[in-house]
Every structure is written in structure tokens, then in C-alpha cells.
Homo-oligomer: A and B are copies of this chain.
């Protein structure tokens, strides 16, 4: 497989697989009993605070902790558009990120309420996520299949932690045929939250964007994508029925199992512009196949 030249793609943020601290060489043996040094990804706890309140501990590879915290809080509906973030402080030693806002947010109230009503409110966090969806109005973005093939090819040839060490997920914010921000993490929800954090920090709209993920198209991924205002979600991997159902409800275009010239669209097919010349698209050669479609 030929790796892409990054200068051809113009990433705003690209993976940095050689960055210190993201992988570690571990000594082991292979099937022949030979000693081998294997490059494996790191995985560290990061505890996210909103103002004075501890929200969650995420297991993460450790890059972009501030963006992960911002994106997580955004996607949980704990940071609204009109809120002012006064500081985001990462403490490497304590493994914490503290996000401070200029007001006490609704969500802190909600957490309090949840604590008090615990035992009768079923699935509060999940309920909250579905709640936010009712206000989402996604643009009716037309998506060219030629762009999807171009994205898929560029992303799969981009040097990444995945190609370096495996066992990791990628999520890429894209516009037309250009991948813009490519985040990786041990959990696919973290990778997408880091993208959301970048969009929040830079004030970037999701209206003309497409989100590409290496992971499965589950309800969680579809909900996050919709909350980010992005109306098209693409993956090499498969679907869950509920993911498809939510995508149909909110008007999100859902393309999965995209490998080589193959794909399936299970929501929003009417917004696809089928302009690709399939004869010009290579089938995915098994040798260069990315390893994962599961996940």
C-alpha cells in the first residue's frame, strides 16, 4: 500500500503516529517463540471536570485532552452554544482536565437532580442525549459518491497510529473530498468527541461537513454526529438497527460497509449524488485492507 503524502491532503490536524507518548514498544514472543518488540498504543485515564464537578473518567490515548473534554461535554449537552468557556486546564500529573464556564450550567443541576432521583429515573444520561436530538435540524446536504470514494482512499492511506500500532479507532471531519481533522483514540467515542471539541473551539459549523469513522454505526455514533450538526456519517464498518432508525428520524445520511467500490446506504439515499464511475474505483486489495470493519 502506498501511504499518502500529507502535503497532498492539507489536513488541519493529521495523526502524528511518531509523537512520543502515544505508543510504547513492548517485548514479547511471536508464534515461533522469537522475541519481538511490538508497538502498542497507550491507554490512560483522564478525568473530566466541569467547574467544580467531576463528570467522567475516560480511557484515552492521551493526545488532545482539552479537545476531548470540550467535545465530550458538548456531545453530552453540558456545554451550550451560548456558553463561554473561561478556561480549560489539563494537569498531566493528576490526569485531569478542568473546564470552567462563566456560569453554573443547567447540566450541573441535572446531575444533582439525577442523584436525588436515582433509582426511579431510567437511563438518565442516555435519555438526555435523545432529548437534545429533538432540537437538531440537519441541513439537507447532498453528498457525492465520488467524494466519498476520494475520502475513503485518502484516509486509508494517511499515516496513522492505526497503521503504526493497530487497536485504535479513527474519526475524520471532512468537507467535500477533503479530510480536514483526523483524530484517533482507543475508544471511537473519544475520537469523535475530540473532533467535536475542535469544532467547538474553532467555531466550525457541521453544516457542510461529512464525518468518517472507522467504527460501527451504532446509536451512540449517530446521535453524536447529529448533535455536531453533521448530516452525513460514513464508515468502513457495519450498522446497528437503532443507529439506522435514529438516522432516519433526524434526516442523517448513513453510509456503511464502505470498502473498495462497495458501500451500503441505509438512510438518506435520496441525498446521495451517484456520480462516481465505479469502473475507476479499485476493489480493496486484501493486502492493503485496513484491518477493522468491526468495532
Contacts and interface: CB of A to CB of B under 8 A. Distances in A.
Contacts of A41: 238-241
Contacts of A123: 45, 47, 57
A266 B59 contact: no
A45 B162 CA distance: 30
Nearest to A166: B238
Contacts of A278: 31-32
Interface of A: 23-24, 26-33, 36, 38, 40-45, 47, 49, 52-54, 57, 59, 94-96, 115, 118-123, 125-126, 145, 162, 165-169, 186, 214-220, 237-244, 257, 261-267, 269, 272, 274, 276, 278, 286-287, 289-295
Contact of A294 (B30, B36, B166, B272): B166
Number of chain copies forming the complex:
2
B53 A239 contact: no
Residue in A165, A241, A287 with the greatest tally of chain B CB atoms within 10 Å? A241
B125 A244 contact: no
A264 B30 contact: yes
Nearest to A44: B242
A31 B145 contact: yes
A271 B31 CA distance: 14
A54 B265 contact: no
Nearest to A30: B264
Contacts of A96: 122
